[in-house]
Amino acid sequence: MTLLVRHPVTYREERLYIYHVVFKEFLGFDYRLIAEERRDTLITAEGEEAWQLIVSEVLFQIPAEKWLSNESLPAQPLERWKVSNDLPEVSTISREIEVIYGIRLEGGHFYLQDDNEITLGLDIFGSIFFMLTRYEEIVKKDRDQHDRFPAIASLAYQEGFLERPIVNEYLEILWWSMKRLWPNLERKKREFQVYLSHDVDWPLGIAGNNPLRVLKTAAGDVLKRKDFYLSMRRLKSLAKVSMGNVDADINNTFDFIMDLSERKGLRSAFYFIADHTAGEVDGIYHLDNPWIRKLMRKIHKREHEIGLHASYNSFRNPDQIKKEFKRLILVAEEENIYQESWGGRQHYLRWEAPATWQAWEEAGLTYDSTLTYADRVGFRCGVCFEYPVFNLLQRKTLKLRERPLIIMEGTMFGKEYMGLSHEESISLLRRLVETCKLFNGHFSLLWHNSSLLSKRELELYSNVIMNI
């Protein structure tokens, strides 16, 4: 069945992008676009034009001179729609859903149905476009101490939907509305997937480090962290590494990570730093180090993935990202490491819309997996599907894909961020895993190798992975 999508003539490039992502990428439909003078989107099925779905528009009706301005942002507080009253078959996290862009229809409703026509007051396409492109991050100037857009400045956090994939919920509303009109319509079948990734900031905590610093850290294990076991592990590791056994380094948890992944039938991705634009902030290792190269060979031999962890000051610098990726590829080829695709993540989650995406595109990377917030876990892009990205300033679709990150362990544990206990973290992890499963989506988790040092950390990570 081919859908006919009649749409207004405004914002042509933006429409081509969002219709492709929604209809083809996410739902798997064949469709044909027809531009005409109108102020909503009308969807019919070829040969069955009597049945109609009308989707209201707000974002793509904004005057061009107000595009990417404060006036174009959603009005807060957002309206809320009790979807279950109108579409009880729709899977949502709660009975009510936030309406990012939309208009109330006759009688104050967001959903109206006659015999052969459904009208949605929710601007599905504009709202999804807003979330996927990170529209608000260009408009709003809020930044934290690392020049990152913070979760607390986002619409999702302020309106209470950061921990729910609102794009997936909007897709369900669209799907079930269409299913009521065309019962024989079939959508793309999806399966729940888990993406595990590990930013290699400190592959070694002892080797190459100042022994005095290691001793001070060991003292802190006892005095600050009250962890005598960890202190003894660190000191034993120092003794062995000092005798030339680098594999005994306390940060060398890579086999542990890969063993767990393989037991669950998962593939881990390890993202390596290839340059140091901010000194020790980018770690103290180099890709020329023989032990690092041996580690990369081992990862590849065990059929896990290697990727780029672009340095701290690279996120606005296309030439720097290109240089770092070329360096990583050169080292990989020297070690006979070849992959069909190459992805990664920005160090410290430093990212800017759309400059960083464009830089990764120009460097030739396949996907980025930076997009979560450092200060709060959740769905920064509003979705638990991978998707192609759009450059809002150049108004073009890129080949690069975003694989949204949902949880970083440092966000949960960091006192400057959420400061959760291990028990609270497990509860949060399980809840977000179940959320992704509800939509047959992707659960993406970042856990650093250097955050697996204490007995509690090892047990926690094992518990998480084995119960996903």
Q: Give CATH for domain 193-203+251-466.
A: 3.20.20.370
Beta-bridged to residue 111, according to DSSP, are: 120
The mean per-residue pLDDT over the stretch 417-426 comes to 94
| The pLDDT of residue 65 | 97
Does the structure show a pLDDT above 90 at 115? no
Q: Could you give the residue range(s) of every CATH 3.20.20.370 domain in the chain?
A: 193-203+251-466
| The pLDDT of residue 425 | 94
185-208 pLDDT per residue, tens: 999 999 999 999 999 999 999 998
As a whole number of Å, the end-to-end CA separation of the chain is 36
Greater confidence, 148 or 50?
A: 148
Closest CA to 123 of 31, 8, 37, 27: 8
Instruction: State CA 129 to chain mean position distance.
Output: 15
Where do we find the tokens 């770092």? Answer: 324
Beta-bridged to residue 460, according to DSSP, are: none
361-391 pLDDT per residue, tens: 999 999 999 999 999 999 999 999 999 999 9
Percent of the chain residues topping a pLDDT of 70 = 100
| The pLDDT of residue 48 | 84
**pTM of the shown model:** 0.96
Question: From CA 193, how far away is CA 188, in angstroms rounded?
Answer: 15
Q: Mean pLDDT in the chain?
A: 96
Closest CA to 350 of 329, 320, 326, 395: 320
Instruction: Answer whether 105's CB lies under 8 Å from 161's CB.
Output: no
The dihedral through the CA atoms of 258, 260, 265, 271 has a sign that is negative
DSSP string, 9-25: SSSHHHHHHHHIIIIII
255-268 pLDDT per residue, tens: 999 999 999 999 99
Does the structure show a pLDDT above 90 at 441? yes
